[in-house]
A and B are shown apart, each in its own frame.
Chain A
Amino acid sequence: MSINPSLSLAEYLERLPGTTFKKLYQQPSTTFAIFRRMLPHLAKTFVMRMLFLPHPMTLADLDAWVKPEAKRKKDQSLSILRSLHIVQISAPSKEKPQEIQLMSNFKRSLRLALTGGGNHNSFGVPSSLMVPPEIDLPFLDRYARKKWEDVLHFVVSSVGYKSSLGEGSGPNKGVKELLIAGQLVDRRPNGSLGITQAGFTFLLQEANAQVWTLLLLWLEVLGNNKSSGLDPVDMLSFLFMLASLELGRAYDTNALTEERRNMLPSLVDFGLIYIPQHKRSMFFPTRLATTLTSGGNSLRTISEGVAAATQSAQTSQQSLGLLGGGGTGEQAGSVVIETNYRLYAYTQSALQIAVLALFAKLNMRFPDMVAGRLSRASIRQAINFGITADQIISYLSAHAHEQMHRTAALTNKPVLPPTVVDQIRLWQLENERMKTTSGFLFRDFTDDKDYLDTARFSEEIGVLVWRNDNTRMFFANKHEQIKDFLKSRKKAE
């Protein structure tokens, strides 16, 4: 099964056809969620200003809203709005100026979401039954955290160490299969499970992005599997609906359609909702579900993940968020590194061990400690993951053990052995000599104007990577909109 493991929500949505968006936007909750999560501020402003306009407006009027120096931002916002099928821009023609308007479905649903009215029930139907008193916010948080940690532990435990949990615990079989299908872990030739690069990226993401990664995988797997009878579009809009529910309230399962009720068991497995044992007709969304559409940045790259882990140690603050740092909370000051590149870490945190395993070869694990060493190969592996030498060094110094600080203060030397620090940098230099960007090379333009216009367009929408005006070639990392642009130009001629 070929599934792109690091798919973000934005990329997933971008690949959906226009008809899917039409269906999605029938639900006010979905519309609202997309508006809330997917749009940059400027795009939100455009949408809000156009929302109650009775007629399309000309693009020239829209230009007047934006200061000339923000043209690039404006173009990017418009390009996002178009790719999400939120606005419609008429084709350029000689008789009429270009006009822009919101898609009618989107407009109607967003109006409904903001001003209320209608009986679409898209924001859920609260259950009328008595809520058991033991189900309160802390209970739901504990429950969600436990479920999600199981998932993370499963991914981490494949780093080569048996997790302390037995075979029977951990996530449900379905979730495990999903992680394998998504290539977050894969089966090694010897039958054991191993974490993949995508899995590492996944681990270092913030919780919200992790949930989305998993959910999108799930959508994709079910989408490929027609026999499941689940419609990915409907599922997606159900997820957006969950995101708009209120934490700590019980909702009625009977108000859901049959397909959506069938989704509930999987959502329970992920820890997104809780269904009480003895009251099957109500469900509680957990914090994992209700925060789905909050938070602007969806995906964190592996290097940002390391940076975040470093920062959290520097401020030596335990993450108060639901799932900060693998749950157990990393303590600052647990890593000892010697001049002979040996590394010892006094930790039990699965996440910290996973982070160390990114750039060190760990070869021993004790109940309270892991030991390993840095080598050229291990650093090279880290660099392949996208981590820089400086990040490794700052991670090590942020997590340096007290004893390292004490010795350093006594002998008046830097905390980390300079030989190690230099060697890490040298290893990086040796490896980092090539930068690759996948995308499309545009060439064979018939004349200069053609080339210049297209190159400018791709620069404005932010996909241009390289250009050479002499040979009339440029390189862009996406091509869909450029293609449309070329087509519309051809028509206009």
Chain B
Amino acid sequence: MPRAIRGVLIECDPSIKSIIVNIDSVNHDFIIEDLDEERVVVKENMVQLLKQKLEDVRL
């Protein structure tokens, strides 16, 4: 039986994606599914936090 999982699709550069994967690797609480080089599905309630973390990394 197919499943539908609520989430947010993020499309970005491979470089950004690897940062996201890296952020996730600490607690594994962001990523629902790693789709491919440039896409990843993230939990809806974590997107804001993720954006913030990305911001911190870049500065």
Contact = CB atoms under 8 A, between A and B. Distances in A.
B12 A441 contact: no
Nearest to A434: B12
Interface in B30-57: 32-33, 35-36, 39, 41, 44, 47, 51, 54
B44 A438 contact: yes
A66 interface: no
B1 A444 contact: yes
Contact of A438 (B1, B8, B33): B8
Nearest to B20: A434
B11 A434 contact: yes
Given A466-B35, A466-B39, A473-B35, A443 B12 contact: no
Contacts of A435: 10-12
B16 A482 contact: no
Contacts of B54: 434
Contact of B16 (A434, A438, A486): A434
Contact of B5 (A440, A466, A468, A471): A440
Interface in B1-37: 1-13, 16, 32-33, 35-36
A119 B51 CA distance: 58
A442 interface: yes
Contacts of A440: 4-7
A340 interface: no
Contacts of B44: 438
Given A438-B44, A441-B32, A468-B35, A475 B2 contact: no
A443 B10 contact: no
Given A443-B2, A446-B2, A483-B4, A468 B36 contact: yes
Contact of B2 (A436, A468, A486): A486
Contacts of A465: 9
Given A473-B35, A483-B4, 13 more contacts: A430-B58, A436-B10, A438-B7, A438-B9, A438-B44, A440-B5, A440-B7, A441-B33, A442-B2, A442-B5, A446-B2, A468-B35, A479-B4
Contacts of A471: 35
A183 to B, nearest CB: 16
B7 to A, nearest CB: 6
A475 B7 CA distance: 9
A441 B7 contact: yes
8 contacts: A434-B11, A436-B11, A438-B44, A439-B7, A443-B2, A446-B2, A451-B2, A454-B2
Nearest to B17: A434
Contacts of A475: 9, 35, 41
A433 B13 contact: yes
Interface of B: 1-13, 16, 32-33, 35-36, 39, 41, 44, 47, 51, 54, 58
A450 interface: yes
A490 to B, nearest CB: 9
B9 A437 contact: yes
A454 B4 CA distance: 12
Interface in A426-483: 430, 433-446, 450-451, 454, 465-466, 468, 471, 473, 475, 479, 482-483
B14 to A, nearest CB: 11
A434 B3 CA distance: 26
B57 to A, nearest CB: 12
A444 B3 CA distance: 6
A436 B7 CA distance: 10
Contacts of A486: 2
A436 B47 contact: yes
B21 to A, nearest CB: 13
B23 to A, nearest CB: 13
B32 to A, nearest CB: 7
Nearest to B5: A441
Contacts of A483: 4
A196 B36 CA distance: 35
B54 to A, nearest CB: 7
A444 B39 contact: no
A111 B3 CA distance: 43
Given A443-B3, A444-B1, A454-B2, A434 B10 contact: yes
Interface in A388-445: 430, 433-445
Contact of B8 (A430, A437, A466): A437
B30 to A, nearest CB: 13
A214 to B, nearest CB: 27
A261 B41 CA distance: 50
A443 B35 contact: no
B6 A443 contact: no
Contact of B33 (A439, A473, A479): A473
Contacts of B47: 436
Nearest to B33: A441
Given A434-B54, A475-B41, A482 B10 contact: no
